[in-house]
Amino acid sequence: MQSKVIYSVILLLIAVLVSYFNRLKAEKDLIVGGIRAAIQLILIGYVLNYIFSLNTIGSQLLLLFIMTLIASHTAKGRAKEVKNSGLLAFFGIMAGTITSIGVLLILGIIKPEPRYLIPLGGMVIGNTMNASALALDRFYHELKNNTPKILFALSLGMSTKDASLFYIRKAIRAAMTPIINTLKIVGLIQLPGAMTGMLVAGASPMEAAMFQLVIMYMIAAAVGTGSMVALLFARKRLFYRDITLKL
């Protein structure tokens, strides 16, 4: 397998050559990104090997928590204009992960084992991170662009909940649009990663398809829950006592 990975570097070099001959100036980013990807994946391989050998709930939850912290920090960089966006995203990611993974565990669809919790948790955290960051950024700009309308509504005695409800709905809708679009075309244009991985590992096509369907529903639940929770916390921080906005 190591030799095959080394040979696959040729594929990265093709991307570098495309950038070079088209003067995209992305060669450095591609090379640095490729090296970082290799280092990160090798390191996580060692970490997962250790966690799999421990096979304890505590070690799995600790790794998922660390992944959530990293995701929250990443989301902070994507919603820079929102104050404390990292903390808000953290609440959203935690809510989405606990809800979706919790339901799967309660229903017995998956077992509390590393081979299930770690990869599925990673999928949920990654997708909820993107959704939370997108929702926070969209909500902030909706409030900023409609400040006069919101202040007028507040001056008439409307609560922050009612004054912001329309914009929260728009932000959640924007955050859920990617997963909605994916649900509509999954299996028609490309085979998702989990399904492809199972097929490569030797699983039957129907078994792989059914498990991928579970994953898609899991991500939809996590994205919806996570973006909603992040925005509810954001609303408390962006409004001041039903009087004005704190943008």
The 10s digit of each residue's pLDDT in 124-183 is: 999 999 999 999 999 999 999 998 998 888 888 888 889 899 999 999 999 999 999 999
pLDDT for residue 201 is more than 90: no
pLDDT for residue 224 is more than 80: yes
Residue that terminates a domain, selected from 19, 39, 54: 54
pLDDT for residue 198 is more than 90: no
Query: Do residues 67 and 16 both lie within one domain?
Result: no
Query: Do residues 129 and 219 both lie within one domain?
Result: yes
Tell me the average pLDDT of the chain. Answer: 91
Residue 136 is part of which domain span?
56-245
Cα 72 to Cα 212: distance, rounded to the nearest angstrom: 26
pTM, rounded to two decimals: 0.85
How far CA 67 is from CA of 19, 165, 237, in Å, comes to 32, 31, 25
Question: Six-digit token pair at 119?
Answer: 């990869």
Query: Do residues 71 and 18 both lie within one domain?
Result: no
Query: Do residues 118 and 203 both lie within one domain?
Result: yes
Query: Do residues 64 and 47 both lie within one domain?
Result: no
What is the number of domains present in the chain?
2
Query: Do residues 67 and 40 both lie within one domain?
Result: no
